[in-house]
Amino acid sequence: MEHMNSNKVHVSVPELQNRARLLISCPDQSGIVAAVSQFLSDQGANIVHSDQYTMDPAGGIFFMRIEFDLHESSKHLAAIQSDFATLANPFGMRWLLSPASHRKRLAIFVSKEDHCLLELLWQWRAGELDADIVLIVSNHLDMKTIAESFGIPYLYVPVTPETKAEAESQHREAVKLANVDIIILARYMQIIPPTFIEQYRNRIINIHHSFLPAFVGGNPYAQAHHRGVKLIGATAHYVTEELDGGPIIEQDIQRVTHRNHVTDLKRIGRQIERTVLARAVAWHVEDRVIVHNNKTVVFI
């Protein structure tokens, strides 16, 4: 399936060649915006978007996202980062400065449901996902042909209680070899072990098929049907050690009625899941999300 070959989509959008993004969080104090914007101005950068939020004006946390254009910014990145560190340290900043041209590398974990995977693949092929999908991992063989049609390596790792440890070690090695930045659990129905979570802290995105915190755990659509809710939802969140308890990135819902059986809820839910996951992934790869106290600040 040549037309789906991924070569074409790896080219970044031309207008983003000089674009870079800066994410900052630190204790609030007067003068942060002035210092940061002066720094960028001194570098010759032009701020294209900026967005800022202070949790509580009296002694809260300051969060900021700046998108700027700087001629050949990716070439001078190391120097800029080094200079920025000097500014950042006195403010106690946690920060991330990344050129838009450095596309993030995604691994997608999937089990038997294909809708979330397909949505990401379509958006990627349509040039709507500003990242590279470099690996698909599954405990089943169902998606192998799809992966291959998009020219993406497919790692089949069956998981049983006995092979769990071995499977994790295969996962680790594969994502390391593929130089993966972000892991997407696109309806991957296995628990991620704590060591893996620790290593990819705030970089594993899961889609849960309920409007969290309602219906944590298994069979959320059956739970929703049993409770008789009038809306069903989906939640994209970072994976933490607490099941379905991590920082929520995005949620959405659809209206349902008494006429909808559990199979209907699953069908309607698939539409929500793929949309919500795709939004969360897009925001993450565009450096729009900061995690603080198990919650997210999302600059959109």
| Residues lying near a copy of itself in the complex (CB under 8 A) | 1-4, 15, 28-34, 37-38, 40-41, 44-54, 57, 69, 114-115, 118, 122, 126, 128, 142, 145-146, 149, 211-215, 227-231, 233, 247-253, 257-259, 267, 270-271, 275, 294-298
Closest approach, Cβ 75 to a copy of itself, in A, equals: 19
Closest approach, Cβ 163 to a copy of itself, in A, equals: 25
Q: CB under 8 Å to 234, separation ≥6 — which residues?
A: 207, 208, 209, 210, 211, 251, 252, 269, 272, 273, 275, 276, 277
- Do residues 27 and 62 make contact, with C-beta atoms less than 8 angstroms apart? yes
Q: How many residues does the structure list for the chain?
A: 300
Query: In the annotation, is 142 catalytic?
Result: no
How is residue 139 annotated by DSSP? S
The residue among 10 and 259 lying less far from a copy of itself, judged by its C-beta, is 259
Closest approach, Cβ 121 to a copy of itself, in A, equals: 10
Q: CB under 8 Å to 159, separation ≥6 — which residues?
A: 139, 167, 190
Cα–Cα separations (whole angstroms), residue 166 to 161, 163, 239, 283 = 10, 5, 21, 33
The residue among 125 and 172 lying less far from a copy of itself, judged by its C-beta, is 125
Closest approach, Cβ 207 to a copy of itself, in A, equals: 14
The residue among 164 and 230 lying less far from a copy of itself, judged by its C-beta, is 230
Catalytic residue among 244, 252, 264, 287: 244
The residue among 199 and 271 lying less far from a copy of itself, judged by its C-beta, is 271
Closest approach, Cβ 210 to a copy of itself, in A, equals: 9
The residue among 35 and 177 lying less far from a copy of itself, judged by its C-beta, is 35
Q: Which of 190, 119, 185 is nearest to 150 (CA)?
A: 119
Please state the φ and ψ torsions of residue 191, each to the nearest 5 degrees.
Answer: -75, 135
- Do residues 100 and 16 make contact, with C-beta atoms less than 8 angstroms apart? yes
Q: Which residues are catalytic?
A: 244
